């Protein structure tokens, strides 16, 4: 069964619907961040493959899809219910996926922005989210069910049970199947498939090595525990403990990005960038929402302020 996700965090706002606007087709739905002007993460609405990324000029030959501008991502979801479905994520500030990468529903693919044909701030910060059926470079609305063209993205997600603005993005499911990407030993060494680990470690910036186990070990050696000590046993096996730490780190990073300040990558990599952001949020809110020590430690007091569970080992 296909899984679907909100492409934006809960409390995001619908700022412009699909349909004719100022005499021309507005080929998607615009969502503003929960806090106006605040750049937040953007997520894949369903499983798929990134088929194009780039910066469009707003013309008929725009890099990702015609008549769209700014940094954008085009994801091919394959055939769903008899129709070939694709989704577009536009006006991004950052793109963190690459062409050919397989992504899962709820996986972060970029950061919301206001990029356009000329600068990175041609527009107010928002996501232009579009959904097309049976067309790879659509320019018009679909005239009927199954016809090629753009469809109402917000209505499409509602039909799948997703209420954008109310629902949080789903937790990405493990990829099905298992290849020997990265030259690792059998996929049974890990709690998730090798292809999933390779994508995760690519996004986190860990250099590729001959053996995937060695790459996992590098990740484990680098992770910091809320106490400041090493978080994981570096055995090269991505087992349940490493997976729980990774998923908790994703929640921590997403929660930190909801607070005022510079966004950090949501990559499951708990190192100095994440710890420094924890310290910054503690400092900004010390004496108010935060009553603990300003030490960069995402312990129980910090987690309570951020609204996330404690680290699995705490």
Same domain? For 43 and 129 the reply is yes
Same domain? For 112 and 190 the reply is no
Domain count, the chain: 2
Candidate from 35-44, 85-94, 168-177, 227-236 with smallest mean pLDDT: 168-177
Candidate from 113-127, 214-228, 273-287 with smallest mean pLDDT: 214-228
Same domain? For 27 and 64 the reply is yes
Cβ atoms of residues 276 and 107 within 8 Å = no
Which has more confidence, 208 or 77?
77
Domain presence at residue 167: no
Question: CA 15, CA 90: separation in Å to the nearest integer?
Answer: 14
pLDDT score for 181: 31
pLDDT digits (tens, 9 = 90+) for 52-98: 999 999 999 999 999 999 999 999 999 998 899 999 999 999 999 99
**Where residue 48 sits, what CATH number does that domain have?**
2.70.70.10
pLDDT score for 173: 67
When pLDDT is cut at 50, 70 and 90, the band that residue 184 belongs to is very low
pTM: 0.59
Domain span at 81 = 13-159
């Amino acid at each position: 069964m296909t899984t679907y996700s909100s492409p934006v965090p809960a409390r995001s706002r619908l700022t412009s619907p699909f349909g004719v606007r100022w005499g021309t087709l507005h080929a998607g739905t615009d969502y503003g961040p929960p806090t106006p002007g605040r750049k937040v993460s953007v997520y894949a609405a369903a499983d798929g493959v990134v088929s194009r990324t780039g910066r469009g000029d707003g013309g008929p030959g725009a890099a990702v899809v015609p008549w769209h501008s700014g940094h954008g991502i085009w994801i091919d979801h394959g055939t769903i219910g008899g129709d070939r479905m694709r989704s577009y994520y536009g006006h991004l500030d950052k793109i963190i996926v690459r062409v050919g990468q397989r992504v899962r529903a709820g996986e972060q693919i970029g950061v919301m922005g206001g990029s356009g044909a000329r600068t990175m701030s041609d527009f107010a910060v928002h996501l232009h989210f579009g959904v097309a059926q049976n067309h790879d470079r659509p320019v018009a609305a679909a005239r009927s069910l199954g016809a090629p063209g753009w469809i109402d993205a917000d209505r499409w997600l509602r039909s799948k049970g997703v209420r954008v603005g109310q629902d949080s993005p789903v937790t990405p499911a493990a990829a099905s199947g298992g290849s020997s990407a990265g030259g690792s030993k059998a996929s049974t060494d890990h709690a998730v498939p090798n292809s999933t680990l390779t994508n995760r470690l690519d996004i986190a910036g860990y250099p590729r090595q001959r053996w995937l186990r060695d790459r996992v070990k590098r990740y484990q050696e680098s992770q910091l525990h809320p106490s400041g000590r090493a978080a994981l046993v570096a055995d090269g096996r991505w087992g349940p403990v490493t997976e729980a730490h990774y998923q908790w780190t994703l929640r921590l990073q997403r929660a930190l990005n909801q607070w005022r300040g510079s966004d950090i990558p949501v990559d499951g990599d708990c190192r100095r960038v994440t710890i420094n952001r924890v310290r910054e949020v503690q400092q900004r809110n010390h004496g108010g929402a935060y009553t603990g020590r300003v030490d960069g430690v995402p312990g129980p007091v910090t987690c309570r302020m951020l609204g996330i569970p404690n680290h699995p080992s705490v």
